[in-house]
């Protein structure tokens, strides 16, 4: 178990935290930069001690619990949570404004010729019914809306704190009747 945890730490946790801090250290060296917009994830919001039930209203005051993430081996969730926490602490100590965008499951046009993990997971759910995410709840948001939110968060001086981005919430069982009708090409 120790080796497995170490591998996840080396592959997910450490790069997430160090990556965020490396960028922030560079930002802190430029006196004219006062605001940082960080892309996090709804994963850093919704995995508390007790996960929210389907239909629960979740807001920016919610935080994923690192201890719960570790116990449940939610390494991606833990990486996003620790990176966001480290960024908040760094910005506070260095006088930087931090605006965090916490998008849900990002869907929409892709730039690369192959599918990313998120897109593959959603298509797999539709084609095979295989769950990718632990709760079977998909909080969807369009990539273009996420991009626009970053611009608005940077340009609007009143923007602050965390912004959860979800356009639609669906459960994996909602797609049972659609499987035969959908095909991916």
Total length of the chain: 185
- Range 124-133, long-range pairs (CB < 8 A, 24+ positions): 125/172, 125/175, 126/175, 126/178, 126/179, 126/182, 126/184, 127/179, 127/182, 127/184, 129/172, 129/176, 129/179, 131/172, 133/105
Query: Considering 29, 34, 71, 80, which one is annotated as catalytic?
Result: 80
Chain centroid offset of residue 173 CA:
22
29 is catalytic: no
How far is residue 128's CA from residue 126's CA, in Å, rounded to a whole number? 6
Q: Which residues make Cβ contacts (< 8 Å) with residue 164, sequence separation at least 6?
A: 42, 45, 58, 59, 60, 102, 104
**CA nearest neighbour of 64 among 54, 75, 55:** 75
Helix (H, G, I), strand (E, B) or coil at 58: coil
Catalytic positions, written as ranges: 80
């Amino acid at each position: 178990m120790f080796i497995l945890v170490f591998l996840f730490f080396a592959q997910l946790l450490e790069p997430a935290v160090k990556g965020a801090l490396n960028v922030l250290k560079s930002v802190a060296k430029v006196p004219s930069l006062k605001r940082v917009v960080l892309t996090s994830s709804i994963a850093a919001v919704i995995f508390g001690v007790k996960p929210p039930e389907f239909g629960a209203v979740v807001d920016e005051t919610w935080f994923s619990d690192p201890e719960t993430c570790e116990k449940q081996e939610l390494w991606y969730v833990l990486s996003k949570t620790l990176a966001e926490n480290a960024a908040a602490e760094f910005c506070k100590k260095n006088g930087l404004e931090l605006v965090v965008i916490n998008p849900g499951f990002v869907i929409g046009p892709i730039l690369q010729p192959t599918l990313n993990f998120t897109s593959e997971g959603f298509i797999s759910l539709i084609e095979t019914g295989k769950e990718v995410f632990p709760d079977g709840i998909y909080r969807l948001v369009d990539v273009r809306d996420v991009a626009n939110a970053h611009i608005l968060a940077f340009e609007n001086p009143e923007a602050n704190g965390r912004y959860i981005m979800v356009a639609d919430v669906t459960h994996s069982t909602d797609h049972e009747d659609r499987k035969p009708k959908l095909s991916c090409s």
